Structure 1
């Protein structure tokens, strides 16, 4: 009975770890246009309206030098650097006052042309984006 429990645990662990996307600088590099932004932790949960996304054309851009840039409505919203740790992007955002803010984007899906990443906490968001270009 105990052996069956360990076997089941091993199979479940293998399944969970095999489902995580492999995040690499090569795969991330390029411009990703936001097509959906959700706020699942808000009360009540919320999604940015498609008309707002169409009007502001938000995107995130990752460079081979491990830098990022977020643009919203043609204006720079955020920028900084990142490191990779499994399915996590550890973000260091440069703030206007010269300080920095650290947070994590968890990448739940990553293909050649689509990325889904999210931040946690009450202000967390889940972003789905499609590749607009590569460098």
Structure 2
């Protein structure tokens, strides 16, 4: 009986600790500077060199209005809107011709300082980014 109770307790504890809380707009909002970009599904797997990332200074910015913009090398690369569903971000990207493209990102990690998100498929990528902290200037 004790062994049975322990197994049930262990199973319940595992389920509770393995469930990630849903991603929130508040936690996501802000500017995130890319520090690592991988293409794990390409053949062979590939990644963007650190020197290239440093030179291009890419970032993604999320707004409370569920909009995003991606900047790479000082130029707007992509923009659009998003919705959240648990750890998934459903993206509607606005293309240069005005058409839209829908795809999903899986957010595998989100802390106050770091985000890791990835897309799937042959051209899928995995991005690690750090939150850019805004500096508040006092008027005193």
- Same-fold call, TM > 0.5? yes
| Residue of structure 1 equivalent to 2:138 | none
Matched, 1:25 2:22: no
Q: Give me the TM-score of the superposition, normalised by structure 2.
A: 0.84
Contact 1:32 1:133 in 2 (8 A): no
| Unpaired stretches in structure 2, ≥5 consecutive residues | 135-140
Q: What's the offset of the Cα at 1:47?
A: 1.0
Deviations 1:69-125 (A, max 9, x none): 000000000000000000001000000111100000100000001000000000000
- The structure with higher relative contact order (CA 8 Å, sep 6+) is 1
Contact 1:21 1:108 in 2 (8 A): no
CA RMSD across the alignment: 1.9
Q: What's the offset of the Cα at 1:15?
A: 4.5
- In 2 relative to 1, CA 117–21 (structure 1 residues): closer, same or farther, beyond 3 Å? farther
Q: Give me the TM-score of the superposition, normalised by structure 1.
A: 0.87
Contact 1:67 1:81 in 2 (8 A): yes
Q: What's the offset of the Cα at 1:32?
A: 0.2
| Residue of structure 2 equivalent to 1:104 | 104
> Structure 2: how far apart are the matches of 1:21 and 1:123?
28
Q: Secondary structure in 1 aligned to 2:132?
A: strand
Contact 2:82 2:90 in 1 (8 A): yes
Q: Secondary structure in 2 aligned to 1:52?
A: helix
Give runs of aligned pairs for residues 85-100 of structure 1, distance below 5 A. 85-100=85-100
Contact 1:22 1:110 in 2 (8 A): no
Contact 1:115 1:128 in 2 (8 A): yes
| Unpaired stretches in structure 1, ≥5 consecutive residues | none
Matched, 1:65 2:65: yes
> Structure 1: how far apart are the matches of 2:60 and 2:127?
10
